[in-house]
Each structure stands twice: as structure tokens, then as C-alpha cells.
Amino acid sequence: MKKALFLSGLIFLLLANCKKSSSDGNTTVTYQVTATNSSGIAISYNNVLENKIPVNAQNSWTFDVIISQKPFHAYVQAISSSPTSSVVTTCTVNILVNGSVVKTATNSGSSTATAEAAYTVQ
């Protein structure tokens, strides 16, 4: 009887101390921006409240948004500026959901390159 109570208590403690699994309902949306031959990148992305947030970066930028409400409208736009009009700049944006690329866009230009991607997380 004492052994059964002890084992039951031990099992209860072990189960109570287990971490929540990744099935807690949260999803990670990752925005990635890269540019070549760029003097700067103007970026706009949707935050967790789906508000557009502007940021500036140099050659690359990555940002994670942890969402719990779906659908979520992921959006990222990047405008890469060329240091001179004779240099072609290339801009690439990616949207990843839980580590997997779901949307990508690439564009090149002699003065600016604009890449934009949108994806609805269901």
C-alpha cells in the first residue's frame, strides 16, 4: 500500500513538472530580409496586432513574431537603396511559419529594389 502511494505521488510530481509541449497554440512567424549592394533597407512588417511597423536595417534583418490568434496576416515589405544609380541592388524577403518558408519575393533595381510578401497563417 505504501509503495503504491509512493509511486502514485512520484508519477504525479513528474507529470506536474513536465513542461508544456509545443502544442500550446503559439505559432512563430519569422520575417527575413536580405539585400546586396545596398546602402540601407527600409522595412515595414506586421506585428502581433497586425499593425505595420517601420524599421531600418543595413544588409540583413530577421524578426520573430509569436502569435496565438489565427488567422494572422503576415506581411513584410523591404526597399533596398543602391549606393549609386550605377550599382544594381537586390532585395529578398521571406516569411517563415514555424521554421518553414511559406512566401518569398526578390527584386532588383539600379536605384532601389522593392520586395513584398504577404501570407495568411490559418
Q: Which stretch of 15-24, 29-38, 94-103 has the lowest confidence by average pLDDT?
A: 15-24
Which three cell numbers, joined as nine digits, stand for 44? Answer: 515595414
pLDDT, tens digit (0-9, with 9 covering 90-100), for 57-100: 988 999 999 999 999 999 999 999 999 989 999 999 999 999 99
Give the pLDDT mean for 86-115: 97
Side chain identity, residue 86: S
Instruction: Find out whether the peptide bond into 71 is cis, omega within 30 degrees of 0.
Output: yes
Domain boundaries, the chain: 25-121
CA distances from 113 to 37, 86, 102 (A): 11, 13, 21
Q: Which residues contact 12 (CB under 8 A, 6 or more apart)?
A: none
Quick one: pLDDT band at residue 105, thresholds 50, 70, 90? very high
pLDDT at 19: 39
pTM of the model: 0.79
Residue with cell 527584386: 107
Q: Which residues contact 99 (CB under 8 A, 6 or more apart)?
A: 28, 30
DSSP 63-97: EEEEE-SSSEEEEEEEEEEPSSTTS-EEEEEEEEE
E strand or H helix at 27, and its extent? strand 27-36
pLDDT at 25: 87
Domain 25-121 architecture: Sandwich (2.60)
